[in-house]
């Protein structure tokens, strides 16, 4: 008799669907939360990456627009502030930039730095080799290029899927509008 009761109970349990939706939701809910927060975090990180690229381009463009009078330390600070403002809606406090100018020597054909400025937020590190840093942009003797290296320490609002911080690095290159090397003082 006990076996018949057990089989009857299992038969009724098999036909009962009253808690199926709750069980299915309990199985799917964690995966849905991971996908939701992961999409939110990844999209903010991509936006920070694109905004950092824009800020690097802004700084390079401002420096390249300088005339033959040259770039002063005060103007470098202003351009750094512009880069930080270009990071909006992200906080500009984590923005660092290194600005440099390189020229291909007319006589020897070698590429050398004219100057480097690392005063923007402590700088994003120094450019070590002018030939490599100029990225093949100096093909003719007398060519000059402005280079900007930017780093941004991105910290997301939630850390559910991705790590808490990412360091984003970008570079930007511009030819001086004057056509000649921009001095720095």
Count of CB atoms situated within 10 Å of the CB of 55: 26
Residue 40, judged by CB atoms within 10 A of its CB (0-12, 13-18, 19+), counts as middle
What is the predicted pLDDT for the residue at 23?
A: 81
Tens-binned pLDDT, residue by residue, of the chain (185 aa): 688 887 887 777 677 677 777 788 889 999 998 898 888 898 999 999 999 999 999 999 999 998 878 888 889 999 999 999 999 999 989 999 999 999 998 778 889 899 999 988 888 888 888 888 877 888 888 889 999 999 999 988 887 777 888 999 999 999 998 888 888 88
pTM score, whole prediction:
0.80
- Residue whose C-alpha is closest to residue 150's, from 167, 130, 174: 167
What is the predicted pLDDT for the residue at 48?
A: 94
Cα gap 105→143, rounded to integer Å = 8
Q: What is the DSSP string of 13-58?
A: HHH--TTHHHHHHHHHHHHHHHHHHHHHHHHHHHHHHHHHHHHHHH
Cβ(80)–Cβ(63) under 8 Å? no
What is the predicted pLDDT for the residue at 101?
A: 92
Residue-wise pLDDT for 49-61, tens only, equals 999 999 999 999 9
What is the predicted pLDDT for the residue at 1?
A: 63
């Amino acid at each position: 008799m006990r076996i018949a009761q057990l089989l009857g109970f299992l038969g009724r349990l098999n036909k009962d669907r009253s808690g199926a939706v709750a069980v299915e939701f309990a199985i799917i809910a964690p995966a849905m939360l991971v996908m939701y927060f992961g999409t939110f975090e990844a999209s903010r990180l991509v936006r920070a990456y694109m905004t950092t690229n824009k800020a690097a381009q802004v700084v390079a463009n401002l420096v390249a627009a300088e005339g033959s009078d040259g770039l002063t330390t005060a103007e470098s600070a202003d351009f750094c502030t512009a880069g930080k403002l270009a990071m909006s809606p992200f906080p500009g406090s984590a923005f660092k930039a290194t600005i440099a100018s390189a020229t291909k020597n007319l006589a020897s054909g070698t590429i050398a730095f004219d100057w480097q400025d690392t005063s923007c937020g402590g700088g994003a590190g120094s450019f070590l080799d002018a030939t490599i840093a100029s990225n093949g942009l100096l093909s003719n003797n007398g060519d000059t290029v402005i280079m900007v290296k930017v780093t941004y320490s991105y910290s997301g609002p939630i850390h559910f899927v991705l790590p808490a911080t990412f360091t984003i690095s970008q570079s930007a290159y511009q030819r001086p509008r004057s056509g000649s090397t921009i001095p720095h003082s």
